[in-house]
Amino acid sequence: MAADPLIELRDVNKYYGELHVLQDIDLTVGKGEVVVVIGPSGSGKSTLCRAINRLETIRSGTILLDGSPLPDEGRELARLRADVGMVFQSFNLFAHKTVLQNVTLGQVKVRRTDKAKAQEKALALLDRVGVAGQADKYPAQLSGGQQQRVAIARALAMEPKALLFDEPTSALDPEMINEVLEVMRQLARDGMTMVVVTHEMGFARSAANRVVFMADGRIVEDRSPDEFFTDPRSDRAKDFLSKIL
């Protein structure tokens, strides 16, 4: 790979009780790379994202961020979580905070940015994702697509080294999917390192450097989108693609 590695998983294993949910996962995401993770429901995609962000512990293996192992707890961990922003299917905005407060809070609390500066940055980011006019509203007053763009702005406000997206458009009405994907495409063009779990194959084809296909807790294929979509090697991937394309 040309780029320096930013996220590295080496021989990572995780169990939920008896369930071996991540099996011998080796994955390297280079700086500026966009890796799309696809696979059937229950294959471990969300768990993979959560493990990268230490929202889940792992049984064995190593996860490195920018060459350093992940801290276990405390302030270091809070900083790491800010370094790897996460955008969820369900937006996860603070319901009782305005849009502006949502994008300002973490900057002040975790990054110790002064409030005026944090607000200025928040407004610029809200503008960048196309919701500047909504700054004083509450999340429930926004459409799903707008809320998800605010969630992206909130993640960006922490100046993350990488962003993880876990099915960011799955909860959206069809007409709002594109406005969110367009923001993500722009981030990719701007060089953001991204891991994106999605069923949007058009996005995978157009924005991904690599497609990682997971099944039963394993990475079954890890290839360029062109190779993957035109010539999937595994039966699992062929079967999956035949159902969704």
Q: Which of the stretches 4-12, 43-51, 119-127, 147-155 binds ligand ADP when contact is defined by CB under 6 A?
A: 43-51
- Using CB distances below 5 to 8 A depending on partner kind, what does residue 94 bind out of ligand ADP, Mg ion, none? none
> Which CB atom, from 42 or from 61, has the smaller least distance to ligand ADP?
42
Contacting ligand ADP (CB under 6 A), which of 8, 25, 29, 43? 43
Residue closer to ligand ADP, measured from CB, 41 or 57: 41
Pick between residue 14 and residue 45 the one whose CB is nearest to Mg ion.
45
**Phi/psi class of residue 243: alpha, beta or left (left: φ > 0; alpha: ψ in -120 to 50)?**
alpha
CA dist list (Å): 68 to 7, 9, 64, 76, 165: 9, 11, 5, 12, 22
With CB under 5 A as the contact rule, the residue among 28, 46, 107, 198 that binds Mg ion is 46
Closest distance between ligand ADP and the C-beta of residue 191, in Å?
Answer: 27
Is 47 one of the binding residues for Mg ion (CB under 5 A)? no
| Stretch in the footprint of Mg ion (CB under 5 A) among 39-47, 68-76, 176-184, 201-209 | 39-47
**Which of ligand ADP, Mg ion, none interacts with 28 (beta carbon under 5 to 8 A by kind)?**
none
Shortest separation between residue 84's beta carbon and Mg ion, angstroms: 17
Q: Which residues within the stretch 67-126 sit at the binding site for ligand ADP (CB under 6 A)?
A: none
Binding site for ligand ADP (CB under 6 A): 16, 19, 21, 39, 41-47
